[in-house]
Structure 1
């Protein structure tokens, strides 16, 4: 029996790296399911596993308990999710104000999902070298919103190398997840952070202002300056999996902090009178965009959220 870290997953085969640096291709035997998680992939990048080694194939027989994981909607219409990665120390959401547009709704759903699974997140605003005046205004507005909540924000440029040294320092010695829409420059940034990987990058579709998918599965790469970086497929949307509606406000830190002043302990912050959260939105203390995202997630139909 050997033990190792899953550094690559293609859905049917898993690449596992052991402590001594050996790399093994492994498979799973039969139907390997995780209790309580409706997922299309029982094992993900970042998992610690045990496997039996023989001359024909290596078979994973055990998954160690995860400290966290993050999921996205499955690409099909089933009520299933796909685990993107597990045991993450830090997540970096790559955001572009333009080329292509990352909406605040998408940002808020990602942040809520990360909060639900206890994953610290930094926001990385890429392609700032291309921004026009109106883009720079929007960038500052977004940074103000998220920095006031408590999220670190970085302005970077994969083209000029702006603040790449700062990102490296943040990632040092950690297992880091990079995520975001297709086209925001994840692969280009990773190639700069860890030279020599030569990850495939894609062009932006001018007609749709969106990126083409260049990564189809998550993969983990070792960093020269210590730590790991996980490249993920471009993500179009997040469902509210495993999030109970009565707990949804817990995953919006500023709403959670304000909620203690509400008249009712079970306030949903939607319809109740003397709601401190609604008052804070009216007063500009909580951003309307954040409250709109919360409202949207609370109003989401149980069936439609998987579609």
Structure 2
């Protein structure tokens, strides 16, 4: 049976119901038992490897994993966090200890949430791997959206295009030309196929260094890649919807996995859209790294980089120093920013 698209009113009702469920969970959490000091051992360091609604799994330096409660004073806890925790002297209700503090983060990646403001997804990340694919259709606008987030968070980005085995010779050439746009401005790119194994050795070497996280729309093959690197995890693979062309969400709990060749991989819940409405226009502008050299050279300080006279960015496009597709996507993101903020204001009235 074909799936019907939800109206805006239906979407708002669903969001409202989800918010009520979230608040009920919070009330339930307040009724959880409290760990008394005499019930706990000494403080020690660990890293969060799984994050659930009410608990988190902490891994010790020796590789042991303990499920922990969270002190109510903690305002944020995500996969990748290094924490101070204490082990319980006994197991209570399946819980082995309590997390008491989060150590300072090197970085964090967050996305806007209608109810929680900025929702942090993961922390202490070495690189963000932007996964796209030829199915759904390759969208440079989506890639640019993720790159703005990476640049704002100051986390290195790698662009990976999956399902290369589906490209014919002409499509491959066109795809390589599009990827060259990003290579020319300093981004690392990989054209891969988890099915045929193309360039998977190069991706394996990359993942062996530090902590990586996959981001990208559902249906681009993130779960297939996880199955490739961690077959024992058996991540559920979501089909692409015949109606929308978007994949179905498959991951519900954020986890950090240790890879056999070394390095860690964070698998976070699938994101269909990654909003930018929490950013200001100048943050999006600075999120385009090739713009930096020309910013400040426009005739007018409040230049919108559109039809403004003597715009340095537009001149750079005309001179071939900025790719026109990137410049076009930039204006689409700016236009979408105003539209999304208007919709958010309407939905919260």
TM-score (norm. length: structure 1): 0.88
4+ residue segments displaced more than 6 Å: none
8 A Cα contact 2:112 2:278, kept in partner: no
The residue that corresponds to 2:187 in the other structure is 151
Deviates more, 1:293-302 or 1:157-166: 293-302
1:4 maps to what in 2? 46
Secondary structure of the residue aligned to 1:53 is strand
* Contact 2:163–2:195 (Cα < 8 Å) also in 1: yes
Residue 289 of structure 2 corresponds to residue 250 of structure 1 = no
RMSD: 2.2
Q: Which residue number in structure 2 is paired with residue 87 of structure 1?
A: 124
Is 1:59 aligned to 2:109, yes or no?
no
1:128: Cα distance to partner?
0.8
**More deviation, 216-225/265-274:** 265-274
Partner of 2:268: 232
Q: Take 1:137 and 1:49, find their aligned partners in 2: how far apart are those partners?
A: 47
Pairwise CA distance, 1:206: 2.9
**Cα distance in 2, alignment partners of residues 147 and 160 from structure 1:** 24
Structure 1 or 2, whichever has the larger Rg, is 2
Ranges in structure 2 where 5+ consecutive residues have no aligned partner: 1-42
Higher RCO structure, 1 or 2 (CA under 8 Å, sep 6+): 1
State the 1:239 CA deviation.
2.5
Gapped runs of 5+ residues in structure 1? 34-41
Alpha-carbon contact 1:179-1:233 (below 8 Å) kept: no
Alignment length, in residue pairs?
Answer: 296
CA distance in 2 between counterparts of 1:305 and 1:252 reads 25
- After TM superposition, the structure 1 = structure 2 runs for residues 173-188 of structure 1, keeping only pairs within 5 Å, are 173-188=209-224
The reply to whether residue 29 of structure 1 matches residue 71 of structure 2 is: yes
Give deviations 1:246-272, integer Å, cap 9, x for gaps. Answer: 343221101112225433456442453
Partner of 1:68: 107
Distance 2:317 2:115 in 1: 36
Aligned with residue 80 of structure 2, among 33, 42, 46: 46
Greater CA drift, 44-53 or 290-299: 290-299
Q: How far does residue 238 in structure 1 lie from its aligned partner after superposition?
A: 2.0
* Residues 270/112 of structure 1: CA separation in 2 closer, same or farther (3 Å cut): same
| Residues 239 and 305 in structure 1, CA contact (< 8 A), matched pair in contact too | no
> Structure 1 residues 242-251 or 214-223, which shifts more?
242-251
Alignment partner of 1:287 is 2:323: yes
